Each structure stands twice: as structure tokens, then as C-alpha cells.
């Protein structure tokens, strides 16, 4: 790591340890008034989303196309992270915006969130995110999610917890199912990360290249969280089981994808199915 990268990581850990490891979990678990207010806000949000049985979950891979998002604009979407990099080129907007990467939150200024509306995120990261309007779901581990929602039969809800699956896409699919989706289309999930050089632990430096839909999504040499493919595969497997158990169909319509956890489809078929239903 060079000096600037070391400075970034030092400031990240100085903030992450007290805010992410201590303050976030304590606030989420011990503040009963906060819990009641949060549950009421989630219920209000769910009521505002009622009536949509098809949802779109948007990944940020290089296969993502603006024209596809516009063609699928008849259904609500969940998108994440730096999706607003494409807002200047389209009128399409996601209905829900999420973020789940604490290192990315540390790097993003408050202004980043100005054009995405309310930010949905795991409760343990609430103090890491600089957004002015936030609503948190309960963070649970992947094994706990499997016990609750795959092996068990608990109600899938943000106050009961969403598991991360090592990728925000797993949480986003859970969010869409909670919102009432009976069919979830997944797009822009290439599930391939070729431009990362692991330098230490779970961090890597970006080597340049197209791992995302916008060439400016990451800068060469930028310190990022690595993409643990094995953990992501396991997370997607849990999501598939969770969805199957609830009678929800998840269809991967990404133009290019290495993800095999879900049924494969096409954008054209999805557009036709949505048009017929509407």
C-alpha cells in the first residue's frame, strides 16, 4: 500500500471500530424507542410499495445497460451503491436505494446520497453512512439467516433481519420479497471480479478495467473490499432456497453472468411478460 492508501485504511478502522462494532449494534439492540419508530417506518414504506408482484433487483456489473432499465421501468427496482452514476443519462430511477459496504460508506460524502432519496442499510453501519435520511434493517449473519428463513419459518422482514450473503444483491432480493414480490428479476449481476489485486486481508486494490457499468466506478489503485466469490455463492444459494420456500420466482436476466443460482432468462422475455401482465 502507498501512503494515501494506508491513510485511508487507518481512518476507516479508527471510525469503524467504535461506530460499526460498538455504537451501531448497541443502538440497534438496546434502544427500544428507536426499535418501535423503525418498525413503524418500515411498515409505512411497505404499505407505499403494495400492489407490485414483480420487482427488479439491479446489480452494478459491466453488462448493465441503461436501455434495459428503461425498458423495465414499469416495475419498481432496488439498486445500490454508485448506481447514481448513470442518473445523468436516464430518467429511470430505482424505487429503493441500499448500501451495505462499510468501506464504501467511509469514502462517500454526504452529497453522494442527495439524488437517491432515503438510504436503506444494515443497522450495524448506521453511523458509518453520511446520508441525511436513513432507515436500517437488522443485520444478521448468513448462518442465522439460513436458520431463520431456510431451515426455519420466521417471517422475512427487515426488523427480523436480512443477511448479507457477502453482496448487497442478496439483501436486495430479500428486500424485494419483503415488499411483496412474487417474481424478482435480477439484472447487471455479472458475478465476475477480475480487476482486483488482493493486498491485505479482506482488502484489495482495484487494477483498473471494467468490473462495473461505469469506468469511473472505481479508480485504479483504489482500496476496496474484495469480492469473496465462495461466500457470495453460498449467500445466493440461501436466497434461492428462501425464495423457493415462499413461492417466489427469481430470474437472472443479466446480459452476461457467471451466476447459476437462479433460473436464467432474458430482458426481452421479462419485458414481454411485464407488458402482458400490465
Whether 48 is in a domain gets the answer no
Tens digits of per-residue pLDDT, 153-178?
Answer: 999 999 999 999 999 999 999 999 99
Give the DSSP letter string of 182-235.
SEEEEES------SEEEEETTEEEE-SS-SSSSTTSS-TT-EEE---HHHHHHH
Domain with 264, as residue range(s), is: 3-43+59-277
Is the pLDDT reported for residue 4 higher than 60?
Answer: yes
Output the nine-digit C-alpha cell for 225.
Answer: 473490499
Residue 77: pLDDT above 60?
yes
Residue 11 within any structural domain of the chain: yes
Look at residue 201 in the predicted model and tell me its pLDDT: 45
**Contact yes or no for 235/165 (Cβ under 8 A):** yes
- Is residue 51 a part of any domain in this protein? no
- pLDDT at 76 (0 to 100): 98
Model confidence at 203: pLDDT above 50: no
| pLDDT computed for residue 266 by the predictor | 98
Q: Is residue 54 part of a domain?
A: no
How sure is the predictor about 242, in pLDDT bands with cuts at 50, 70 and 90? very high
Q: Is residue 49 part of a domain?
A: no
pLDDT band at 199 (very low <50, low <70, confident <90, very high): very low
**pLDDT per residue as tens digits for the range 125-135:** 988 899 999 99
Q: Flag whether pLDDT at 26 surpasses 80.
A: no
CA 31 to chain centre: 25
In the prediction, which pLDDT does 261 show?
A: 97
Q: What is the DSSP letter of 167?
A: S
Residue 145: which H helix or E strand, with range? helix 142-145
Task: Say if 26 falls within a structural domain.
Answer: yes
* pLDDT in the model for residue 19: 65
Task: Give the chain's domain count.
Answer: 1
More confident: 13 or 200: 13
For residue 207, give the nearest of 217, 225, 195 by alpha carbon. Answer: 195
Considering the domain boundaries, does residue 53 fall inside one?
A: no
Sheet holding 134-137, edge to edge: 134-137, 119-122, 96-98, 77-80, 54-58, 183-187, 249-252, 263-264
**Cell numbers standing for residue 13:** 478502522
Mean pLDDT for 38-62 is 96
| pTM over 0.75, yes/no | yes
Task: Specify if 50 maps to a domain.
Answer: no
**Is the model's pLDDT at 21 over the cut of 80?**
no
Residue 117 has pLDDT above 50, yes or no: yes
pLDDT-wise least confident of 33-37, 52-56, 216-220, 249-253: 33-37
pLDDT of res. 227 = 83
Among 15-24, 49-58, 267-276, name the one with the lowest average pLDDT. 15-24
**Tell me, what's the pLDDT at 278?**
81
Average pLDDT, the chain: 89
C-alpha grid cell for residue 9?
Answer: 485504511
pLDDT of residue 151: 97
pLDDT per residue over 215-240, tens digit each?
889 888 888 888 889 999 999 999 99
Does pLDDT of 202 surpass 60? no
- Of the pLDDT bands very low, low, confident and very high (cuts 50, 70, 90), residue 112 is very high
Amino acid at each position: 500500500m502507498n501512503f494515501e492508501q494506508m491513510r485511508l485504511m487507518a481512518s476507516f478502522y479508527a471510525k469503524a471500530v467504535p461506530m460499526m462494532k460498538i455504537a451501531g449494534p448497541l443502538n440497534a439492540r438496546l434502544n427500544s424507542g428507536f426499535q418501535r419508530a423503525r418498525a413503524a417506518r418500515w411498515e409505512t414504506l411497505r404499505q407505499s410499495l403494495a400492489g407490485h408482484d414483480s420487482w427488479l433487483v439491479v446489480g452494478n456489473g459491466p453488462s448493465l445497460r441503461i436501455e434495459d432499465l428503461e425498458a423495465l421501468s414499469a416495475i419498481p427496482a432496488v439498486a445500490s451503491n454508485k448506481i447514481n452514476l448513470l442518473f445523468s443519462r436516464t430518467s429511470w430511477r430505482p424505487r429503493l436505494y441500499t448500501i451495505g459496504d462499510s468501506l464504501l460508506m467511509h469514502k462517500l460524502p454526504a452529497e453522494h446520497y442527495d439524488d437517491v432519496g432515503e438510504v436503506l442499510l444494515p443497522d450495524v453501519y448506521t453511523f458509518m453512512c453520511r446520508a441525511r435520511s436513513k432507515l436500517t434493517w437488522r443485520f444478521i449473519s448468513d448462518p442465522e439467516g439460513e436458520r431463520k428463513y431456510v431451515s426455519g419459518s420466521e417471517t422475512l422482514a427487515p426488523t427480523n433481519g436480512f443477511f448479507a450473503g457477502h453482496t448487497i444483491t442478496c439483501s436486495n432480493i430479500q428486500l424485494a420479497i419483503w415488499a411483496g414480490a412474487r417474481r424478482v428479476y435480477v439484472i447487471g449481476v455479472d458475478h465476475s471480479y477480475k480487476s482486483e489485486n488482493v493486498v491485505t486481508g479482506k482488502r484489495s486494490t482495484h487494477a483498473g478495467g471494467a468490473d462495473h457499468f461505469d469506468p469511473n466506478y472505481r479508480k485504479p489503485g483504489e482500496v476496496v473490499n474484495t469480492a469473496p466469490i465462495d461466500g457470495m455463492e453460498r449467500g445466493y444459494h440461501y436466497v434461492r432456497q428462501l425464495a423457493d420456500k415462499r413461492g417466489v420466482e427469481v430470474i437472472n436476466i443479466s446480459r452476461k453472468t457467471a451466476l447459476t443460482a437462479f433460473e436464467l432468462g432474458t430482458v426481452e422475455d421479462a419485458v414481454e411478460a411485464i407488458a402482458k401482465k400490465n
